[in-house]
Amino acid sequence: MTNTWIVATMVAVVAGFVGFFVVARRSSFAAHVLPFAAFPGAAAATLLGVSELLGLIVFAGLGVVGISTLGRNDRQEVATALCLVSLLALGTLFLSMTREYSQSIYALLFGEVLGISTSQILPIAVTSVIAIGLMALCFRPLLLDSISPELAATLGVSNRFWELLFLTVLALSTAMALPVVGALLVFSLMVGPASAARSFTDRPLAAALLSVCIAVVTVWAAIALSYLSNWPVGFFVGALGVLSYVSGRLYRVSPRRLSSNER
């Protein structure tokens, strides 16, 4: 349980911070696709006898390269979908070659937060520091590129560079979160808290920090509720993510909020 709390907190902090830019850049589809793009990495790592996290990072990186390369000559969502199809096909092939088929499928899709070993803490911590450090150092130019790409280009900010950097950090965040919350729930942990935070405040830095807080509370509450009810952690992560988003929308349209905006 100690390992669970430590790793889940690190994953939540990264997901909340990166999720702010996922929402700001309208990159929810990419955030949904990259976990599945990293999916075959664990199967390949099992076949080669190397670290699962290494396999996830490598294949998430392949997803970034594919989206960035194909997106130059085609629509971004089409390139993202093509990468998803290609890497899922590889994942199917790799999983058919391993005897740990059913166990791997369940763990990668739904996570295994209660099965975190001590050896996984350090790699996830290092990945977390790298992801948060890059986002913090590049917060202002990346925010400008997210809100107004045309203005950013006018000021000499390279849209292609910042898109590639953002996708790289998103891939790192996905790779570290996949064994914990699973491919199906990384998306909800990134999008739900960040969307709620943007509803509660229009200030970028405050919204990013609030997104982190909501993500951490979501994960902590999910673990506690799972312990008390014996229901899956993933169910509570998804449900609380939706609840946080609905709460943000209700606050946005509340009479008091509307009256203050009119003033």
Q: Using the 8-state DSSP alphabet, how is residue 187 labeled?
A: H
Please classify residue 167 by burial: count the beta carbons closer than 10 Å to its beta carbon, then call 0-12 exposed, 13-18 middle and 19+ buried. Answer: buried
pLDDT score recorded for residue 72: 60
CA–CA separation, 195 and 114 (whole Å): 27
CATH number for 191: 1.10.3470.10
Q: In total, how many domains does the chain have?
A: 1
Residue 132 CA: distances (Å) to CA of 12, 137, 200, 238, 262: 12, 9, 22, 23, 37
Per-residue pLDDT tens, the chain, 263 aa: give them.
Answer: 788 888 888 988 998 999 898 888 887 777 777 777 777 777 777 777 777 777 777 877 777 777 767 656 556 667 677 777 777 787 777 777 766 555 555 666 666 666 777 877 888 888 889 989 988 888 888 888 888 777 767 777 667 788 788 888 888 887 777 766 676 667 778 888 998 998 888 899 999 999 999 999 998 998 889 888 888 777 888 889 889 888 888 887 776 555 555 45
Residue 131 CA: distances (Å) to CA of 22, 134, 138, 179, 248: 14, 5, 11, 17, 26
pTM, entire model: 0.80
pLDDT score recorded for residue 216: 93
CA–CA separation, 8 and 82 (whole Å): 31
Domain extent, residue 76, equals 2-262
Q: Is the dihedral of CA 168, 98, 107, 93 positive or negative?
A: positive
Tell me the one-letter amino acid at 44: A
Residues in the chain: 263
Please classify residue 63 by burial: count the beta carbons closer than 10 Å to its beta carbon, then call 0-12 exposed, 13-18 middle and 19+ buried. Answer: buried
pLDDT score recorded for residue 221: 92
Name residues whose C-beta falls within 8 Å of residue 22's C-beta, 6 or more positions apart in sequence. Answer: 28, 30, 31, 170, 190, 191, 194
Coil vs helix vs strand at 74: coil
pLDDT score recorded for residue 190: 84
